[in-house]
């Protein structure tokens, strides 16, 4: 088990994900802790505290460095209905907080932190992702008129496809939106090519690459939906790559293990 912290800034990203043993886990109906990092609901919001080690990485830092911080997420509204991603209900996605306000405090951030908009979801299931998926693309962005768009395109190993285009706003159920065709994004350094829905008269644009790994990419992308230009966080997961034994051997370089705590 692990507590992943990823903070992005122009001067260098802060990324930590240390796998820990079962004795480091403490959980209750209101909170979950892994080592010195944890989260829990209080006073109508989600509080996260972390004490982790930022890993060395080219262009970011030469040596490991401890860092601490906290995050306060205050929902603007909740969405209480999860979505099944496969026909058998083995994999579930729950956009619990489509829109929120966020305050981040961290001793490695300039000025000590920042405030802005946020989003919170959950994925869970009864089988490993690579057992049933070959890949998926996901994107989320805040549109005009206080709406949030979420796009989900999953490809299953049995050949099925699951496409979701949803609009969230306060006081209303999630609404399906008509989606334009999928358009290709530039390949990452490891060859992962993502896709995103975009109207034919426009082109999607990757404005910043946040993560680029052998099986996963995360980027800031601009696309056009319903005639509106929308800035979105976009993710691509290649589950075939994830299951590759060579890729599995590389994971400890980004996910070190500490089973003693």
Domain boundaries, given as residue ranges, for the chain: 1-76+101-123, 128-253
What are the Cα distances from residue 29, in Å, to 24, 42, 65, 172, 183?
A: 17, 12, 32, 28, 42
227 pLDDT higher than 80? yes
- What whole-number distance in Å separates Cα of residue 98 and Cα of residue 19? 28
> What is the arithmetic mean of pLDDT over 191-213?
95
- What whole-number distance in Å separates Cα of residue 227 and Cα of residue 198? 10
171 pLDDT higher than 80? yes
Q: Which residue has the higher pLDDT, 252 or 198?
A: 198
Supply the mean pLDDT for the chain: 93
pLDDT range class, residue 187, cuts 50, 70, 90: very high
> What is the arithmetic mean of pLDDT over 159-167?
95
Q: What is the pLDDT of residues 30-65, one digit of tens each?
A: 899 999 999 999 999 999 999 999 988 777 788 889
Please, what's the b/e burial string for 36-74 (b: 16 or more CB within 10 A of its CB; e: otherwise)?
ebbbbeeeebbbbbbbbebbeeeeebeeebebebebbbe
pTM for this prediction = 0.92
pLDDT range class, residue 85, cuts 50, 70, 90: very high
């Amino acid at each position: 088990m692990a507590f992943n912290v990823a903070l992005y800034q122009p001067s260098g990203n802060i990324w930590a994900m240390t796998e820990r043993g079962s004795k480091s886990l403490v959980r209750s109906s209101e909170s979950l802790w892994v080592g010195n990092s944890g989260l829990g609901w209080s006073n109508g919001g989600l509080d996260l505290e972390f004490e982790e080690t930022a890993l060395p990485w080219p262009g970011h830092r030469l040596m490991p460095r401890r860092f601490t911080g906290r995050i306060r997420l205050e929902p603007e509204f909740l969405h209480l209905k999860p979505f099944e991603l496969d026909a058998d209900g083995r994999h579930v996605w729950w956009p619990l907080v489509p829109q929120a306000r966020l305050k981040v405090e961290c001793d490695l951030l300039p000025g000590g932190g920042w405030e802005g908009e946020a989003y919170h979801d959950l994925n869970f299931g009864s089988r490993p992702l690579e057992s049933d998926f070959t890949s998926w693309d996901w994107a989320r962005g805040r549109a005009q008129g206080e709406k949030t768009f979420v796009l989900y395109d999953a490809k299953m190993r049995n050949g099925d496809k699951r496409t979701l285009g949803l609009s969230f706003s306060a006081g209303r159920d999630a609404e399906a939106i008509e989606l334009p065709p999928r358009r290709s994004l530039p390949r990452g350094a490891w060859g992962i090519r993502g896709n995103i829905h975009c109207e034919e008269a426009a082109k999607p644009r990757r404005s910043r690459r946040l993560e680029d790994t052998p099986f996963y990419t995360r980027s800031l992308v601009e696309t056009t939906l319903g005639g509106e230009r929308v800035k979105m966080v976009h993710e691509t997961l290649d589950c075939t790559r994830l299951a590759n034994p060579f890729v599995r051997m590389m994971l400890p370089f980004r996910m070190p293990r500490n089973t003693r705590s």
